[in-house]
């Protein structure tokens, strides 16, 4: 009998979690299926693989990356730590709780290199189209090898969609924006604050991107930052130089008008208005259709497409938890594909989805959202042998992080947290985040300078 074949689309943290899950089973002596992971970029890491490009990439494909320079983790690293590969194991010393992107990228890569997982990945290969044959119960996946300019098709018993959902911009229209004389771009194309030094910026949106890009531009020398919200403001106490106004109604040349009756001239507009779920390689009936939320409908356990559970989605939730959630999902998905975990019938799955979706709809605060996603992770951890970790303690760290941000949006990244994986307390970074303009790994890992005794040079 031929081996079960598994296709994974995307080698970002979710797709890599799936590879790592199979590798863990192999190390335990299990015979694992045949796995191929397709990645359209020339390297792995998904969002964490920074690119300077915008628009289209080397081979004319839409650029996936939305990451930018000077991005520092927006949550404590202790909340995303892999429970089978700690920060201590990777860095060999305690590091601070909010590392910059290159440091987290290094950490992701460390686990993969340790397990020699690159061999499963076909880089520069884009998943173009999928058909499912109910008679043979196989997916046929049309692939484009971008470097060879070759199209081919392969068959799989299971298909894993790990293509991310923070890549295709949601671009609303505001009257008159077409005549705005300065830069207008979406957060997806933002590559760093440098070009906005001394400029008066308008950012539309009130979630992670607006907050982080706004604060980064302020830190790196923008003249002023105005955030404009549709429903709820971010609502923290902003320093002088950042303010938050209701939504823009329209533009006249470089002047924006707001719902509160105010108007102001700007040099640049950044639309921090979120992303669309886009699966151009899936037919209508197999596509996950959702907005960005903590429990997208129609996927059982947040993973299995209810109409066809051999189609598996990873990482499709809005995210407090990230890397450890993708792991918990990937381990359950692996056990299902290896016949070690049986799914209940379709109706029972539907009831379970309804239960989570209803609870999700009733959440009223970020604190309740954290509890919700913690419960979701606990539910997943019950179903596989992914090394368990203290989810309640991680939930408490998230809540402390929310309070820290409310207290001071410019200093929350100077706080430290304790790992639930190793018990190690994070080190304090050598430089307060607001003064640290260099986000390189080398600079980050530099030891903290010892205080010289009084009267002696350092």
**Residue number, 199 or 322, with CB nearest to ligand FAD:** 322
β-pair type (200-204, 224-229): parallel
Q: Is 46 in the site for ligand FAD (CB under 6 A)?
A: yes
**What's the rounded Cα separation, in Å, for the pair 40 and 421?**
33
**What's the rounded Cα separation, in Å, for the pair 317 and 319?**
6
CA 163 to chain centre: 11
**What's the rounded Cα separation, in Å, for the pair 442 and 440?**
5
**What's the rounded Cα separation, in Å, for the pair 219 and 223?**
10
Report the site for ligand FAD in 103-132 (rule: CB under 6 A).
126-127
Select the residue interacting with ligand NA7 from 156, 166, 266, 331 (CB under 6 A): 166
Give strand pairing partners of 272: none
Number of residues this chain uses to bind ligand FAD (CB under 6 A): 33
Minimum separation from the CB atom of position 174 to ligand NA7 (A):
8
- Name 246's Cβ contacts closer than 8 Å, sequence gap at least 6: 228, 229, 258, 259, 260
Select the residue interacting with ligand NA7 from 292, 306, 424, 431 (CB under 6 A): 292
Binding string to ligand NA7 for residues 228 to 267, with x set by CB under 6 A, is what?
--xx---------------x--------------------
Minimum separation from the CB atom of position 377 to ligand FAD (A):
14
Q: Is 273 in the site for ligand NA7 (CB under 6 A)?
A: yes
Strand, coil or helix: what is 246?
Answer: strand
**Residue number, 214 or 315, with CB nearest to ligand FAD:** 315
User: Which residue has 């596989």 as its token pair?
Assistant: 384
Long-range interactions of 385-389: CB distance < 8 A, separation 24+: 385/331, 386/21, 386/83, 386/84, 386/327, 386/328, 386/331, 386/332, 387/83, 387/84, 388/83, 389/81, 389/83, 389/324, 389/420, 389/421
Q: Residue 97: which of ligand FAD, ligand NA7, none does it interact with, CB under 5 to 8 A by kind?
A: none
Q: Interacting stretch for ligand NA7, rule CB under 6 A, among 2-10, 125-133, 206-214, 256-264?
A: 206-214
**What's the rounded Cα separation, in Å, for the pair 314 and 326?**
7
Of the chain, the end-to-end C-alpha distance in Å amounts to: 70
Select the residue interacting with ligand FAD from 103, 121, 141, 162 (CB under 6 A): 162
Minimum separation from the CB atom of position 193 to ligand NA7 (A):
16
Binding string to ligand NA7 for residues 429 to 448, with x set by CB under 6 A, is what?
--------------------
Q: Residue 172: which of ligand NA7, ligand FAD, none does it interact with, CB under 5 to 8 A by kind?
A: ligand NA7
Q: Residue 80: which of ligand FAD, ligand NA7, none does it interact with, CB under 5 to 8 A by kind?
A: ligand FAD
- Name 92's Cβ contacts closer than 8 Å, sequence gap at least 6: none
Q: Residue 40: which of ligand FAD, ligand NA7, none does it interact with, CB under 5 to 8 A by kind?
A: ligand FAD
Q: Interacting stretch for ligand FAD, rule CB under 6 A, among 45-53, 146-154, 233-241, 389-397?
A: 45-53
Q: Is 74 in the site for ligand FAD (CB under 6 A)?
A: yes
Which tokens is 66 given? 């939305």
Minimum separation from the CB atom of position 448 to ligand FAD (A):
23
Q: Are 125 and 40 in contact (CB under 8 A)?
A: yes
Q: Is 74 in the site for ligand NA7 (CB under 6 A)?
A: yes
Strands (E), 259-411: 263-265, 268-271, 275-276, 299-300, 304-305, 311-313
Binding string to ligand FAD for residues 253 to 292, with x set by CB under 6 A, is what?
----------------------------x-----------
Q: Is 315 in the site for ligand NA7 (CB under 6 A)?
A: no
Q: Is 41 in the site for ligand FAD (CB under 6 A)?
A: yes
Q: Is 87 in the site for ligand FAD (CB under 6 A)?
A: no
3-state helix/strand/coil string of 217-245? HHHCCCCEEEEEECCCCCCCCCCCCEEEE
Separation in Å, CA 180 to CA 198, 252, 254, 280, 295: 18, 7, 5, 32, 38
Q: Residue 231: which of ligand FAD, ligand NA7, none does it interact with, CB under 5 to 8 A by kind?
A: ligand NA7
Task: Tell me how long the chain is.
Answer: 458
Q: What angle do CA 438, 440, 443 make, to 5 degrees?
A: 75
Q: Is 47 in the site for ligand FAD (CB under 6 A)?
A: yes
Separation in Å, CA 91 to CA 70, 111, 223: 20, 11, 38
**Residue number, 213 or 269, with CB nearest to ligand FAD:** 213
Using CB under 6 A as the criterion, which residues of the chain lie in contact with ligand FAD when the complex forms? 9-15, 38-41, 46-48, 64, 66-67, 71, 73-75, 80, 126-127, 162-164, 166-167, 281, 315, 319, 322
Using CB under 6 A as the criterion, which residues of the chain lie in contact with ligand NA7 when the complex forms? 74, 166, 170, 172, 187, 204-210, 230-231, 247, 272-274, 292, 319
């Amino acid at each position: 009998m031929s081996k079960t074949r598994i296709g994974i689309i995307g080698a970002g943290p979710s797709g890599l979690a799936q590879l790592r899950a199979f590798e863990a089973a192999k190390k335990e002596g299990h015979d694992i299926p045949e796995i191929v992971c397709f990645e359209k970029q020339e390297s792995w890491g998904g969002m964490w693989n920074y690119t300077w490009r915008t628009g289209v990439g080397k081979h004319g494909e839409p650029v996936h990356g939305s990451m930018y320079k000077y991005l520092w983790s927006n949550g404590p690293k202790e909340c995303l730590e892999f429970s089978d590969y700690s920060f201590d194991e990777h860095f060999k010393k305690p590091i601070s709780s909010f590392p910059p992107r290159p440091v987290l990228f290094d950490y992701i890569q460390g686990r993969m290199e340790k397990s020699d997982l690159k061999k499963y990945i076909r880089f520069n290969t884009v998943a173009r189209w999928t058909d499912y044959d109910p008679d043979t119960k196989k997916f046929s996946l049309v692939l484009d090898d971008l470097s060879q300019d070759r199209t081919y098709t392969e068959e799989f018993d299971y298909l894993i969609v790990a293509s991310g959902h923070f890549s295709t911009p949601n671009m609303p229209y505001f009257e008159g924006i077409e005549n705005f004389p300065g830069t207008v771009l979406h957060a997806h194309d933002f590559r760093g604050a440098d070009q906005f030094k001394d400029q008066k910026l308008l950012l539309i949106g009130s979630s992670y991107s607006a907050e982080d890009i706004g604060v980064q531009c302020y830190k790196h020398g923008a003249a002023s930052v105005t955030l404009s919200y549709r429903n709820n403001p971010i609502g923290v106490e902003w320093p002088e130089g950042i303010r938050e106004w209701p939504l823009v109604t329209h533009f006249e040349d470089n002047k924006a008008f707001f719902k509160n009756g105010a108007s102001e001239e700007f040099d640049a507009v950044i639309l921090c208005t979120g992303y669309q779920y886009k699966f151009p390689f899936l037919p209508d009936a197999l596509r996950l259709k959702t907005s960005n939320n903590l429990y997208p409908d129609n996927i059982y356990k947040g993973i299995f497409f209810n109409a066809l559970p051999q189609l598996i989605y990873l990482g499709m939730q809005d995210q407090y938890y990230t890397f450890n959630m993708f792991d918990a999902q990937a381990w359950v998905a692996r056990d299902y594909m290896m016949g070690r975990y049986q799914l209940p019938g379709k109706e029972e799955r539907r009831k379970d989805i309804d239960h989570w979706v209803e609870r999700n709809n009733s959440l009223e605060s970020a604190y309740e959202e954290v509890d919700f996603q913690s419960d979701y992770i606990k539910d997943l951890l019950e179903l596989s042998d992914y090394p368990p970790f203290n989810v309640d303690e991680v939930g408490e760290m998230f809540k402390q992080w929310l309070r820290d941000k409310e207290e001071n949006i410019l200093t929350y990244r100077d706080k430290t947290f304790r790992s639930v994986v190793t018990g190690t307390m994070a080190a304090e970074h050598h430089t307060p985040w607001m003064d640290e303009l260099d986000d390189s790994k080398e600079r980050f890992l530099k030891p903290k300078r010892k205080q010289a005794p009084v009267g002696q040079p350092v």
